[in-house]
Amino acid sequence: MDLSNLLIPAVLFFALGFVAQMVRSDLKFPPELAKALSIYLLIGIGLKGGIELSHADLGDALNAVTAALVLGFSLPIFAYLILLAGRLDKLNASAIAAHYGSVSAGTFLTAIAYLNAQGIAYESYPVIMLAIMESPAIIVGLMLARFSRGSGAGEDDARENHMGELLRDAFTNGSVMLLFGAMVIGLVVKPDSLATITPFFSTLFMGVLSLFLLEMGMEAGKRISDFRRAGLFLVSFGVVMPLIGAAAGILVGHYWLGFSEGGVLLVAVLGASASYIAVPPAMRLAIPEANPSFYLTLSLGVTFPFNVLVGIPLYHYIIARLAA
């Protein structure tokens, strides 16, 4: 495994943000700018996916959607069982499990930067899977929390109404809407028209990603102090669960979908990543009893840095040996 592959600007900017936080630098990142960068990146990958899908086979696309649903529904259940085996209470286990069935757009984008730096091609279908996998894990987390609670009939009715609102939010989440919307635009608009905006979403893409990961590095650094509260078992889970998810992604991408080396890596990253944008607000609202420092520390302070600095090259190494 060649760790020099990590010496790309995007990853190094993540490390810079992390170090800046560790040394207590006064470096600040405007919150609204961070949101704007996220919007730009989601539109960029959505457009690219839509353009590629315009040349793709419908049957293969539906196969990828099915695979995304299988991963999205099964991984949080598996995570929930592991957390229960570690004697974590059911409500905290439900909230954490939802994060590990959903996906991290930041990790996905870092994997794309990693592949682009090495000139490795990849299929467009993982972009569809990225959008699909945002919602199933939230649904599973809500259902697990519901079954974990003991409540009366009146409380059940109230929660059913509340759950309906949350499920709607899961499917109309901003990141999902941007990805799907941009994919549709890339799919239906004629190439000549798209050419007028393509430079903005291609030439600048890696620079914007570097700024985004600088901010993510700073956020990850802020979570280091929460490690003691998370406990050894949870910190270990934040490393082991990505490995399990990546293994599932490799099996799905290689044996089920038959993707190329680059495509399999992206599916592995989808399986390995944990949401830190879409899922936390939903869990905060639906499971207020769960400790936010647990799931935020794990997803953003443990799993995200592990995937960016260690996981992506490790998964690529395994995939390359599998394809050899």
Which has the closest alpha carbon to 219: 44, 70, 38? 38
Work out the average pLDDT over 178-203: 86
The fraction of the chain above a pLDDT of 70, given in percent, is 87
- pLDDT one-digit tens code per residue, 26-78: 888 887 887 888 888 888 878 887 887 787 788 888 999 899 999 999 999 99
Asked whether residue 266 carries a pLDDT value surpassing 70, the answer given is yes
Residue 153 binned pLDDT confidence (cut-offs 50, 70, 90): very low
3-class DSSP state of 42:
helix
Please count the other Cβ atoms lying within 10 Å of the Cβ belonging to residue 157.
11
Write out the DSSP string of 127-186.
HHHHHHTTTHHHHHHHHHHHHH----HHHHHHHHHHHHHHHHHHHS-HHHHHHHHHHHHH
**Which of 10-14, 30-34, 289-293, 310-314 ranks highest by mean pLDDT?**
310-314
Write down the CATH number for the domain with range 30-323: 1.20.1530.20
Assigned token pair, 226: 């929460």
Q: What is the pTM of this model?
A: 0.79
